[in-house]
């Protein structure tokens, strides 16, 4: 009886380890530079990017504005192919919070950015990985 119980326990441990390994294999590769274009209020097309680095389920990195100003991302999280992070940057003479969420698929992130001073609105977001 003891051998059977020990054998079942061993199989459960192996199963849990395999499940954790399989989940890790599904984790999307987010490390690198991601760029996208958007139109400014005055209608100009501009390019910005983020550099992202995964550390377990945490996401670190920085946002680079069109003027080259670097702002660290905050509250970065990644789970499988889903990510979220915030960028609290200056727009004009005021700080504005930009909340990013997205799904990674290969070399593309698609999702939403929510920002605005009075009534934050969601906007579509699609970034492409920069091959360096």
pLDDT tens readout for residues 15-59: 544 444 444 446 789 999 999 988 777 788 889 999 999 999 999
- Residues 6 or more apart in contact with residue 51 via CB below 8 angstroms: 32, 33, 34, 61, 62, 64
Among the ranges given (5-9, 30-34, 103-107), the one the predictor scored with the smallest mean pLDDT: 5-9
pLDDT of residue 29: 93
pLDDT of residue 104: 97
3-state secondary structure string across 112-127: EEEECCCCCEEEEEEE
CATH of domain 28-129: 2.40.128
Residue 117 clears pLDDT 90, i.e. is over it: no
Tokens standing for residue 93: 């003479």
pLDDT of residue 10: 57
Residue 13 clears pLDDT 60, i.e. is over it: no
Mapped onto helix, strand or coil, the DSSP state of residue 10 is helix
Where is pLDDT greater, at 97 or 7? 97
Q: Is 48 exposed, middle or buried (0-12, 13-18, 19+ CB in 10 A)?
A: middle
Tokens standing for residue 117: 């001073």
**Reported pTM:** 0.76
20/14 Cα distance (integer angstroms)? 10
54/124 Cα distance (integer angstroms)? 23
Where is pLDDT greater, at 21 or 85? 85
């Amino acid at each position: 009886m003891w051998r059977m119980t020990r054998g079942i326990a061993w199989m459960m441990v192996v199963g849990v380890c395999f499940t954790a390994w399989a989940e890790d294999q599904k984790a999307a590769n987010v490390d690198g530079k991601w760029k996208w274009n958007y139109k400014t209020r005055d209608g100009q097309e501009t390019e910005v990017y983020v550099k992202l680095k995964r550390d377990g389920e945490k996401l670190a990195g920085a946002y680079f504005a069109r003027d080259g100003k670097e702002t660290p991302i905050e509250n970065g999280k990644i789970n499988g192919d889903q990510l979220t992070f915030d960028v609290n940057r200056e727009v004009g003479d005021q700080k504005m919070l930009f909340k990013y969420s997205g799904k990674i698929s290969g070399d593309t992130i698609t999702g939403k950015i929510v920002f605005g001073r009075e009534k934050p609105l969601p906007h579509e977001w699609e970034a492409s990985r920069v091959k360096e």
